[in-house]
Amino acid sequence: MRRGERLAVLLAVTVASPLGAQGGAPPFVVPAWAFPTSPPPPKGSPPAVVDSITRHRVPNSPRRYTRPQVANAFDIPDWFPWQHPPMPAPVQYGVRPEGRACGFCHLPDGQGRPENGTLAGLPVEYAVRQVRAFRDGTRQSANPAAATGPMHTVARGFPSDDDIRAAARYYARLPLTRRNVVREVAQVPTTRIAGLLYAYAGTGTEPLAGRLIEVPESFERHELRDPWVRYTTYVPVGSVARGRRLATRGPAGAATSCAACHGPQLRGVGEVPPIAGRSPSNLLRQLINFRTRTRRDSTAASMYAVVDSLTIDDMVALAAYVGSLSPSRSTRK
């Protein structure tokens, strides 16, 4: 980073910090609930016992995998090989010891999971730049304990940009299909935090209280890396309409309407990424990351004017609306 840029970043961070004056606006406080994180097991706990015999299945796939096979980050499980082109080596095998295969987390068809995000349909140069940003630390998470950690290790684990580019080219051609449903509720089924995600706790309901909570319909299928598991996102009543208004008018005027840069249906233009139909909890975290300047790679600044006037309720509304849109012509809402 050049000196001037570093200064600009420092200033930006100061302005965004909860202590800084924000033009009279209330300071932005990062809500912990938006970044679910399980604490690591206490030191000295015995290693988890893994069943290496039972062969698991997911609906509509003839394949069977054991737990160790599902957890193999250097030759990943692929439940539906006929649904995508052959994977290039970085996507299927990665590079030992730290460069785990992209498809391990983002899945072979690039639909990704709420905790890591979709890669299907991302512009090649945008994706390559993001991986570089993880590598050089200009893309972090507003909650340092959550989410970006694995991607930093992985980005450093791929020494060659050629591998990253091959992966990005592969994913760029794949269609994104929406696998989430957005529901406006006052009460949400109780949840527990499992890894970097919410899962149903199975014990009644509790007030949603302004949160956005995304839950897989089956945590088991999520864990088995079934790309077809669906996710339900619970948001406060009125969020989708409020998000639509904000998106259309722009939080700070027409120049900040989402369509001005992300295209008329928010399916991306040039190197500006598509956002329609992506995981709402992931979209929300990215808005918070821009707001707190923890995303500050070379092209992140376009988003600052968009997010700076948003409250957390606005962000929840935008994530709900954008996530509820259809990502492509071929899939239904």
| Residue ranges that bind ligand HEC, judged by CB under 6 A | 90, 100-102, 104-106, 115-117, 119, 122, 127, 130-131, 141, 147-148, 150-151, 154, 158, 164, 167-168, 247, 251, 256, 258, 260-262, 272-273, 275, 283, 285-287, 295, 297, 299-300, 302-303, 306, 318, 322
Q: How far is the CB of 207 from ligand HEC (least distance, A)?
A: 26
Query: 227: buried, middle or exposed (CB in 10 Å: 19+, 13-18, 0-12)?
Result: buried
Nearest approach, Cβ of 224 to ligand HEC (angstroms)?
16
Q: Which is nearer to ligand HEC, 13 or 201 (CB)?
A: 13
Nearest to 288 by CA among 265, 304, 302, 276: 304
Nearer to ligand HEC, 20 or 263 (CB): 263
Residue placing its CB nearer to ligand HEC in the complex, 131 or 199: 131
Quote the CA–CA distance of 199 and 114 in Å, as a whole number.
12
We find the least distance from the C-beta atom of residue 158 to ligand HEC, in angstroms, to be: 5
- The first and second tokens of residue 314, run together, are 């606005």
Tokens 């999520």 locate to 222
Q: Which is nearer to ligand HEC, 187 or 298 (CB)?
A: 298
E strands along 79-176, which residues?
none
DSSP class of residue 325 equals S
Residue 174 CA: distances (Å) to CA of 82, 104, 168: 13, 16, 10
Q: How many Å is the Cα radius of gyration of the chain?
A: 20
Quote the least distance from Cβ 82 to ligand HEC, whole Å.
22
Give least dist CB 282 to ligand HEC, A: 6
Residue 57 CA to chain centroid, in angstroms?
Answer: 26
Give the residue with the Cβ less far from ligand HEC, 185 or 272: 272
Q: Which is nearer to ligand HEC, 105 or 215 (CB)?
A: 105
CA 324 vs. chain centroid, Å, equals: 15
Least separation, in Å, of the C-beta of 205 and ligand HEC?
28
